[in-house]
Amino acid sequence: MPERGRTVKDRGEMSSHTFTSQGPLKGRIRVPGDKSISHRALMFSSLAVGESTVEGLLEGEDVLATAAAMGQLGAEIVRGDDGIWRIHGAGLGSLLEPKQALDMGNSGTSTRLLMGLLASHDFSTTFTGDASLSGRPMARVIAPLSQMGAQFEASTGGTLPCMLRGASPAVPITYRLPVASAQVKSAVLLAGLNTPGITSVIEPVATRDHTERMLKGFGATIEIGEENGERSISVHGEADLRPQHVTVPGDPSSAAFFIVAALITPGSDLIIENVGMNDTRAGIVHALRQMGGAIEELNPREVGGEPVADLRVRHSDLAGADIDPALAPSMIDEFPVLFVAAAFAQGTTRTSGLEELRVKESDRLAAMAAALDLIGAKVEETEDGLIIEGTGGEPLRGTPEGASVATKLDHRIAMSMAVAGLRSRNGVSVDDTAPIATSFPTFTDLLEGAAQ
């Protein structure tokens, strides 16, 4: 078994940065491609025999980890000088046993989706990851995939490193998700692709639906139904995927940092072009509008089978709000930056039902409570949420001399606190900006460039 979790040092030197207040955010920007869609585009293209092309792929470390893994499994993946990725798929059922462990870096999505895909392939694979990923729970995918016949040898507590022996043939199941997780849903559906018969997932609460949308586009037979108010998704195995051209829309999770930056910075009037507006992802826009945020959707259209719009965001006097826990699955990655918006709102913002935030790249409730407290915000951490008393638009103090926010190998903590730095008197010093490259390598330049 390879060694457990690499440490921060394995990523290279920690790189601290202080984010300070600057002018209003103006003009037009574009954020990189959607991370969830990018992972899936590479995976599904690798399963279709022939050449698929992907335009607008997010070239962040997490997605590159998926590309490298698919290469180890037999796909040929090349980035053209035109920025278009060309993928020659090995074919479903014809993936090759990897010669080395698959190093998933920081990426939970790569790990869980690939565990699903390989659960119905007749060979062994070992998964490893960085210190953050090695602490994250894999039992949530190991449980259903074991029911399908796959065998796992995980580290203590159901974590990485983890060895998987795929089943051939695997057994189709109907699985009701015990946690609202698109990764678990996708893992079971991907295992179902190479499993004879019909594999179904029932989700009590809708989670992002990129897997089902894109699999349909690649020619898989997918049925979506409703049973007693719950969504069911079935895949017919053994599927035959056909090569596609995929256009990846801008990532709403990345856009969220700029939406909040513009809302809290006086004088801002920013257009963020080409942002994915899939209902299962757009919760942050609803929550910020509820707080009084001026966010307009311009030119709504479809890109690559996903709804997209340009967002015009203007500085707004935000008011605290009770955020409906039912919105959580559609904005699960956006809570860190919502907490920043709340720290500058008038009055109290209460969030609850967010236990899942404790098992993301870091414990995001604890990490954000500590970070906001450090910069002078009034924040109380509960078991399943944060309660934040905002400044009413006034700047916060920022990090005290010599102190910096601990990002805990979590890109979204780093970016959220960078945004808080725009409205903090001393600025916000972040201990390590390197994790930002997992999802948004151009973030710092774009943030510093958008201010005029």
Token look-up 């910020």 returns: 288
CA separation for the pair 29, 243 (Å, rounded): 31
User: How near is the Cβ of 343 to ligand S3P at its closest, in Å?
Assistant: 22
Of 209, 251, 333, 363, the active-site residue reads 333
Size of the site for ligand S3P (CB under 6 A): 10
Binding window for ligand S3P (CB under 6 A); candidates: 93-101, 175-183, 196-204, 282-290: 175-183
User: How near is the Cβ of 319 to ligand S3P at its closest, in Å?
Assistant: 27
Between 51 and 356, name the residue whose CB sits nearer to ligand S3P. Answer: 356
Binding flag, residue 183, ligand S3P (CB under 6 A)? yes
Cα-based distances in Å from 59 to 55, 84, 96, 107: 11, 11, 25, 13
Binding flag, residue 332, ligand S3P (CB under 6 A)? yes
Rounded to 5°, the CA angle 334-109-241 comes to 120
Q: How many Cβ atoms are within 10 Å of 41's Cβ, its own excluded?
A: 33
Binding flag, residue 200, ligand S3P (CB under 6 A)? no
Binding flag, residue 132, ligand S3P (CB under 6 A)? no
Between 16 and 280, name the residue whose CB sits nearer to ligand S3P. Answer: 280
What does the longest C-alpha to C-alpha distance in the chain come to?
62
CB-closest chain residue to ligand S3P: 36
Among 181, 247, 274, 433, interactor with ligand S3P by CB under 6 A: 181
User: How near is the Cβ of 131 to ligand S3P at its closest, in Å?
Assistant: 18
Binding flag, residue 36, ligand S3P (CB under 6 A)? yes
Between 265 and 438, name the residue whose CB sits nearer to ligand S3P. Answer: 438
User: How near is the Cβ of 329 to ligand S3P at its closest, in Å?
Assistant: 7
Binding flag, residue 109, ligand S3P (CB under 6 A)? yes
Among 6, 11, 208, 231, interactor with ligand S3P by CB under 6 A: 208
User: How near is the Cβ of 211 to ligand S3P at its closest, in Å?
Assistant: 7
CA separation for the pair 214, 142 (Å, rounded): 24
- Half-sphere CA count of 263, side-chain side, radius 13 A: 32
Between 36 and 399, name the residue whose CB sits nearer to ligand S3P. Answer: 36
* Catalytic annotation present for 333: yes
Residues contributing to the site for ligand S3P (CB under 6 A)? 36, 109, 181-183, 186, 208, 332-333, 356
Residues carrying an active site annotation: 333
